[in-house]
Amino acid sequence: MRVPAQILASEGLLDAIIKDRSLNQLVNVATLPGIKKASMVMPDVHEGYGFPIGGVAAMDYPEGVISPGGIGYDINCGVQLLASQLQIKDNRDAVEALSKELHAHVPAGMGKGGTIKLTTEQLDEVLAEGANWAVNHGYGTRESLSYMESHGKLNDADPAFVSTMAKNRGLDQLGTIGSGNHFVEVDFVEKTYNNTIAKTYGLQKGQIVLLIHTGSRGLGHQVATDHIRKMMMAMSHYGINVPDRELTCVPFNSKEGQEYFKAMCAAANFAWCNRQIISWEVKNAWENIFGKEGGDLRLLYDVAHNIAKIEMHTIEGTSRKVIVHRKGATRAFGPGFKELPPEYKGVGQPVIIPGSMGTCSYVLAGTSKSHEMTFGSCCHGAGRRLSRSAAKRQANAPVLKEKLREQGIFVEAGSFRGIAEEAPIAYKDVGSVVDVVSASGIAKKVAKLKPVAVIKG
C-alpha cells in the first residue's frame, strides 16, 4: 500500500461492508501509482469492478494513473433534481396519471431506444457539447446549464477516441433511462433539516419534486469496455503491476491514458445531454397532466457520481492538481466554489442522494470539511447489501409492487426482474448512510424526499 485506506462508516453499516470484497478492493486501490493521501470509501460502499463502488481515489497529476475501474462502466451515471411549485396534499389524485404519463414519455429498459435518432455527425456534436447540445436544439433552457455540475460539459472530450461501435450504441439512446437502479421518480419533501439552505435551494415541506437517475447507457459502457481492453495490453509497457486485473490503469499523461480520458469526457457529455433531454420529456409529461396550473419545473441541480475530474486539492498543506476518481461518489464542494450558481455559492453544492426504490432520498449540501477529508466528495446512495442475483432469489417482485402501492407508491416497471433486483432489502438503509456523512461533517442534511411514483426499466 502506498497510502492508508480510509473507511467512513458506522458500526452498524460495517456488518454489510465486511461481507463482500469491497475492503479488499479498497486496499488494492491503495497500491496504485500516484495515489495521494488515502484510498477512501463512503458508507454506501459495496463491491464493484476492480474499485469498490462508493470509492474516491485522487492520483498525482499528470504522472499518476487513470483507471477505468475507478470510474465505472456507467460513465457519468448521475442524478438530476427538479423542483415543482405544487404541493403533494393538493395533487395526490393526479399521481397515478402522472406516473403513467412519465412512463409514456421516457423509454425505460435494457437496450431500449428513444424517439431521437441521431446522425453520426450529430452524435459527435453531443459528445463534444454535452447538455449544451440539448439546449441548442430546443430541449430546455440555457439558464439550466448553470445548475449542472461542470455546466453539463467537460471540455477535454474528444469524440475521435469513442469507437464506432460505442457511437452506434448511442445513436438512439438519448432520452432513455435504461435499467438497473436507473429511474424517474416523483417525490415530495417530507422534511427539511436546515431551513436556511432548504430556502436557498428553493425546497419546502410538502413540495413535489422529481428525480432523474441515469447515465451514458450503452455508449458509455462500450467506451469503458474498449479502453479497458487497450489498457490491459499497454499496462506492462509502463511497468505497472496491479494486484487485480480489474484495476488496469496507465499513467494519465500516457497515450492510452489521454485517449481514455478524452473518451470518458465524451461519454460524460453524452450522459449530461441524456439527462437534460429526459428532463425536457418530464416537463412535457408534467404539462400534459397539470396544464398551465402545473407551473414551472426548475432544475435544482444535476450531479455526476461515476466520473474522473482534474481538480485542485490541498494535500499536506500544498495545493496540487490531482485526478480525482469518483465511483459511486458525489462531488460535494463547499461554500465559495466558483462554479456554483450565485445563489448557492454561500451554502455549498447540492448533493443529491437517491435511496432505494420506495424508501426515500436526501438532499445535502457540500461543506469545506469535505475538501479536508474526502477530496470534496460524499456518498451517492444507499449502497447494495445484496448482489443482483441474491436479491432476485430473496425478493418477491409482484408482492413488493402491491405492497408499495398500498403505501401510496406507484411503480411503473418494464419487468418483475428489475423490481426484484432493486428491492429495498437489496440495499442498506439510506438514512443510516446519510447520518454517517452528516456526522462526519462532509455534507449537511437539507431535506428528505419521499417517493409517490417510480418509473423503472
Catalytic residues: 380
Characterize the bridge pairing of strands 377-378 and 330-331: antiparallel
Q: Give least dist CB 74 to DNA, A.
A: 4
Closest CB to DNA among 48 and 140? 48
Query: What is the chain's percent helix, strand, coil content, to nearest 5?
Result: 40, 25, 35
Tell me the window of 26-34, 36-44, 163-171, 342-350 that interacts with DNA (CB under 7 A).
Answer: 163-171
Question: Within a 13 Å sphere around the CA of 427, how many CA atoms are in the beta-carbon half?
Answer: 25
Rounded CA gap, 373 and 381, in Å? 19
Q: Give least dist CB 225 to DNA, A.
A: 7
Q: Give least dist CB 179 to DNA, A.
A: 4
Pick out residues in 209-228 that bind DNA (CB under 7 A): 214-215, 217-218, 221-222, 225
Rounded CA gap, 303 and 288, in Å? 27
Write b or e for each residue in 85-117: b if 16 or more Cβ atoms lie within 10 A of its Cβ, otherwise e.
ebebeebeebbeebbbbbbebbbbbeebbbebe
Pick out residues in 166-185 that bind DNA (CB under 7 A): 168-169, 173, 178-182
Say whether 161 counts as a known binding-site residue. no
Q: Give least dist CB 216 to DNA, A.
A: 8
Say whether 121 counts as a known binding-site residue. no
Determine which residue in the list 165, 232, 310, 390 makes contact with DNA, applying CB under 7 A: 165
Q: Which residues, other chains included, contact 78 with Cβ-Cβ below 8 Å and sequence gap of 6+?
A: 149, 213, 214, 215, 271, 272, 275, 302, 303, 304, 305, 306, 307
Say whether 356 counts as a known binding-site residue. yes
Does 448 bind DNA (CB under 7 A)? Our answer is no
Binding mask 244-273 for DNA (x = CB under 7 A): ------------------------------
What DSSP string describes 80-137?
EEEEEEEEGGGTGGGHHHHHHHHHHHS--STT---S----HHHHHHHHHHTHHHHHHT
Rounded CA gap, 73 and 223, in Å? 8
Pick out residues in 373-432 that bind DNA (CB under 7 A): 388, 422
Say whether 74 counts as a known binding-site residue. yes
Does 232 bind DNA (CB under 7 A)? Our answer is no
Rounded CA gap, 181 and 312, in Å? 32
Say whether 361 counts as a known binding-site residue. yes
Q: Give least dist CB 214 to DNA, A.
A: 7
Binding mask 36-75 for DNA (x = CB under 7 A): -------------x-----------------------xx-
Question: Rule CB under 7 A: which residues touch DNA?
Answer: 49, 73-74, 77, 110-111, 165, 168-169, 173, 178-182, 214-215, 217-218, 221-222, 225, 388, 422, 457
